[in-house]
A and B are shown apart, each in its own frame.
Chain A
């Protein structure tokens, strides 16, 4: 049975948060519209990648360049960070201590930054094997798609740091709550995009 109507995607604050819950409806829906347009953008870059996956022009291909173990670790890191952000959302919704909220956000940030570290290491090892973006159409498309996701994660991490700063300055007020809820959607959305990347780019490339 449901106690309350669900007003928007993501974890709803619920009526215990009073007017903050009402303020979230429009704000979060608007952000959801942006995420869907971002999904369209990603899908077109995916289409570009799929159409140029065979265009290696004699250069190194997926089998020479991709490292399945590293991609697996990145996948687990991002998945774990989605879960820890979920815990942060629960800490926000059920009004646990601010320390607990910041703790979960910090763990999420560490996982996100570790993901980026592994990804940069992957790119460096691809470069050392001659897999630079200018080498072939395949590599141009690869470095269009995968770093675009990495750039999103970087943006999300910067946003997360800003939110922690806001909490330190102003406490958990309406603006901070709405910010955390939107970043939660962004973070979970990026994990969904990563599912498509590890399936379409890495796993399909290594079959």
Chain B
């Protein structure tokens, strides 16, 4: 497949491409709205036990982040490898540091709690 046309194609092609990209933004905001409304509605109205609700909120947040990356930041598999690799590497670092911090501090809090203290 020839992937590049240096002249940028004719006006009709560009018009078509613009429509496609406009629809991509509309899809993005529609999905993001649904993914925002759901957890807010659940927290506001539904009587769900705390722990499952936290998992659900986290899941909605992760999916919405992927939607934003895909539709607003246009990250995909077709572009230069470095962009996606940088996101994945940063996510790896971020996960190690955040999970490590929370783990260590929670463990410390547990061990430092004196019997009888609040």
Interface size on B, residues (CB 8 A): 57
CB distance A207 to B68 under 8 Å?
A: no
With a CB–CB cut-off of 8 A, which chain A residues contact B53?
207
Of the candidate stretches A109-117, A146-154, A161-169, A191-199, the one touching chain B is A191-199
B111 close to A (CB within 8 Å): no
Using known A-B contacts A32-B86, A40-B93, A44-B98, determine if residue A203 contacts B40 with beta carbons closer than 8 Å.
yes
- Contacts between the two chains (Cβ within 8 Å), count: 146
A204 close to B (CB within 8 Å): yes
Which residue of chain B has the shortest Cβ distance to A199 in the bound complex? Answer: B61
CB distance A6 to B80 under 8 Å?
A: yes
With a CB–CB cut-off of 8 A, which chain B residues contact A51?
101-102, 105-106, 109
Interface SS of chain A: helix
| C-alpha spacing A39/B55, complex, angstroms | 22
Q: Which 10 A-B pairs have the closest CB atoms?
A: A6-B79, A16-B8, A199-B61, A51-B105, A47-B101, A36-B90, A86-B25, A188-B72, A43-B94, A83-B29
Please report B residues at the A interface, Cβ cutoff 8 Å.
1, 3-9, 13-14, 17-18, 21-22, 25, 28-29, 32-33, 36, 39-40, 43-44, 50, 53-54, 57-58, 60-61, 64-65, 68-69, 72-76, 78-80, 82-83, 86-87, 90, 93-94, 97-98, 101-102, 105-106, 109
